[in-house]
Amino acid sequence: MEETLQNQLKVSTISVLLKETWKLFREKFSSILIISSVPMVLAAISLFLDFIPGGLLISPVVDLFIAIVMILYYLSVINLFVGDKKIGTVEDLKRSYSDSWKLIWPYAVILFLGMVVVAGGVLMFIIPAIYAAVCISLVVFVFIAEQTKGKEAIIRSWAYIKGDWWNIFWRYIAIGLILAIIQGIVTSFLRTLIPGTPFQGELPAIYGLENTIRGALTIQSPWSTFIGTILSLVFFGPFMGSYMFSLYKSLKSVKEKIIDQNIESVRKSVKVFTVMGFIALILLILVIIGSVAFVLYSLKSNF
């Protein structure tokens, strides 16, 4: 218990984390801009399709491609933070995305296992799901920095956070509030600068809330959405990644020598959550099959 308390006191404070995050973000910003150029171009193409006849027909294909590229972008940014390198040329950009492509399938496995673990927490009600989500939140850094795959990456992320869960949770709350405030200000500015299309339909009289409801139903300008996407790619996403990497480094420096002492107990916890998660998936599949069967039976009865 005393050792755990000492570890809690050594984990970087929020102010220290923010300083380290900003320093790392500034050092890597030029590289982040280059890495972000690929999804930026795709976002521009997606925006262009909204204005041409028939563009909506191929939009789903483009959106699927963008989703894959976004995963590669995410892994490239994490690689940038983990590795001591910069992206300065087209060849560097190609190499970065090529390296990320090699990681995408092992990462997909980790992502699936992580979803199963959180689903197990949901089956045990919401609080265990939140606990599990925080415990595995650093899994991508463990995966890339320590080259640990599959369930072992989840176990090591869990072991780093074990004993410091509340400390980590409040640090996430802090950065979440900071970024939410900044994003809210930026969004308000964009909506003022580039107004959307107001809702023109009839609304029922609800105690004078018609204007509020009409404003909530306003269709945002595609240009406003596009600018918001760019800001997410070059600032909000990478800044959060830099913050989490700084948190990972802090925890690793504190617990690297003692992490093996907790591995077995953590392994048991992860196993319980994983088993419950697969049970949740099976129940979900049964519910879907039952719902489809009921609909088909109802249609058959009507005819």
Query: pLDDT tens digits, residue range 159-183?
Result: 999 888 999 999 999 999 999 999 8
Degrees (nearest 5) of the Cα angle 61, 291, 283? 90
Q: How far is CA 298 from CA 15, 254, 288, 290, 302, in A?
A: 60, 60, 15, 12, 6
Does residue 237 sit in helix, strand or coil? helix
Mean pLDDT of all residues in 213-231: 67
Joined together, the tokens standing for residue 46 give 């997606």
Taking the C-alpha atoms of residue 115 and residue 108, their distance in angstroms, rounded to an integer, is 10
Q: What is the pLDDT of residue 187?
A: 81
303 vs 63, higher pLDDT? 63
CA distance 193 to 92: 36
Share in percent of the chain as helix, strand, coil (round to 5): 85, 0, 15
* pLDDT at res. 106: 93
Residue type present at position 154:
I
High-pLDDT (> 90) share of the chain, %:
50
Average pLDDT, stretch 142-154?
91
Lowest mean pLDDT among 69-73, 240-244, 255-259: 255-259
Which residues sit opposite 111 in a β-bridge?
none
Q: Quick: pLDDT tens for 54-76.
A: 556 666 777 788 889 999 999 99
pLDDT at 245: 94
CA distance 272 to 129: 12
Q: What pLDDT sits at residue 225?
A: 77
Q: How confident is the model at residue 112 (pLDDT cuts 50, 70, 90)?
A: very high
59's tokens? 């939009």
Query: Tell me, what amino acid is at 231?
Result: L
Above pLDDT 70, what percent of the chain? 83
> What pLDDT, on a 0 to 100 scale, did the predictor assign at position 221?
66
Number of domains forming the structure of the chain: 1
Structure tokens at 24: 């790392």
Q: How confident is the model at residue 293 (pLDDT cuts 50, 70, 90)?
A: confident
DSSP 250: H
pTM assigned to the model: 0.83
CB-count burial class (<10 Å; 0-12, 13-18, 19+) for 179: middle
Separation between Cα atoms, residue 193 and residue 189, nearest integer Å:
6
| Domain around 241 | 2-302
